[in-house]
A and B are shown apart, each in its own frame.
Chain A
Amino acid sequence: MLELLHALRLERAHLLGTSLGAWVAAEAAVKDGARLATLVLSNPVGLHVKGLAMPDHFLLPPEAETRLAFHDPRLVEVALAAPVSDEEADRQLKNRFAYARAAWAPRLHDPHLEKWLPRLRTPTLVLNGAEDRLVPPAIGARYAERLPDARQVLIHAAGHLPEIEQPDAFCAAVEAFIAERAA
């Protein structure tokens, strides 16, 4: 990703990542945050909060992940009813493998990331769906605590996918943050 930013000559990019993508974004920003204008971490994983309970993403039975992802049960039914093409099924399998490669052990975190966060001075917004049952907002709170220029905003009536469940509130939060903080 850093290579991509470099190749595209993006000097003041706004980087937004969600869930596993937020972890990747944080890792990239820690290594080369100077080229970023702002950072948004939405429902992030990547840090270990001792004693924090979380469902085992690799032992969830089929459908369970979808049921846990949304706050609104109607969205669960829509998601489960959506037809899945062979191509899409393949893509999901590949994603699953990549997810396991990155996140199996240590589970969903990099033990070395937290100590570098105080060095990351890029203005950062941590967004969490307040009703996230897949990834606890406490992890986002830890990011916000450790980063020198960050705050956490909770989006209500939203679970792990606030960008889908509460798109207006999600976008408003991001836009307001960028408008306020991008130098």
Chain B
Amino acid sequence: MKIDDNLPPGQLRERKALKKTLISQISVCDASNWEDSRLSWESCCLSKEDFFNETSLKLFSYQFKWNNIYQAYCKQLGKTPETITLWRDIPLVPAMAFKEFPLFCGNPSLASICYHSSGTTNAKHSCHYLWENDIYDVSLTVNFKRHLLPDFDKIQIISLIPSSKDLPNSSLAHMVFMLIQKFGDKKSGYYISKNGLDVARIIEIFDCCKKRKKPVIILGTSSSINYLLNFVKETGLSFSLPEGSRLLDTGGNKGVKKPIERDKFYLLIEKCLGIPSQYCVNEYGMSEMGSQFYDSVLVSTYDVGEERLKERPKESGRKKVVPPWVRTRILNPETLEDIGAGESGILCHYDLANLDSVLGIQTEDIGARMKDGFEIIGRSQGSEVRGCSLAIENFLSTTLKRKTCQLKKH
């Protein structure tokens, strides 16, 4: 169904104008090499506070007008386009709300795209509705290019993330599809399906890569990469992928590992695949957001220079980079004020790529501010203790599913 047929003319007009602004500004960040990309990121208008403020308020106004549930929520809080002047005052929506409410600027039954969160089959999924992928695709490719491929136009992509055919409604699968389309050479492909990792083909392709002597990029979730590493370890194999090869691991916010675990993970990657940790980039994202956050490690080697990094290793410290079209606040969980230096708090994102839903998302993730970015802190020891009180969400989902199956049997 065409978007033109499904939106009222007024909404269509407003959306087109916003989309044009956002795509043109995000596209400014696109560059073919790392030198130009650094400059282009800095020169993007959205990096400037007043332009970001103006654009985000326009987007808020649009979403307030056309997203009914969000409008009711904002009115309840007394925050409307007439009463707020700063992007920081735009009401944040809890990420978990996407599991129950269609936070969409329109009728969700008419939406062409719906991305679900990952998780167990029994748990409730978030649904993020979109009219189109245009802004999503631009933000994704521009961001990926800067942080994973500052030095190549095309590269062999080895995907350990299933295709959209095997994972419909997955924003991650769509991401991989777009990346292969834009950056993948002819030898790129998927090495995982519903049946699991195709380890035989992976070993074969690793051998070919070695002969080709051209760097490759592996895209995987933390779990698929761990599976591969365990396989390599147990079989006693090891690979030295060509110099310049790199790896992207993602698991969204569920794949967040503690710093010690992450260091061990990268050491193992280097041991099994020959990819140094500097070329292992973690991606933090979620189905509720159009944009992603990448580690700065790989691009730092280009921005700062490898020699200088050796002298000042702290500059290569892993941090998640906030793209110019996003703002991340870290809020004190008790007061919901911005944290002070040395503190940690709740990660809240204002993402202009979330054109069709809500731009302000409050996550459950905890982070700390770093220079030019943030780091994610793993779950605390105390948070593992949940008591013998019932985990209603999971249990209700499991029981309801069982009940539904029982009803169907009869």
Say whether A and B bind each other.
no
Binding site for A on B (CB under 8 A): none
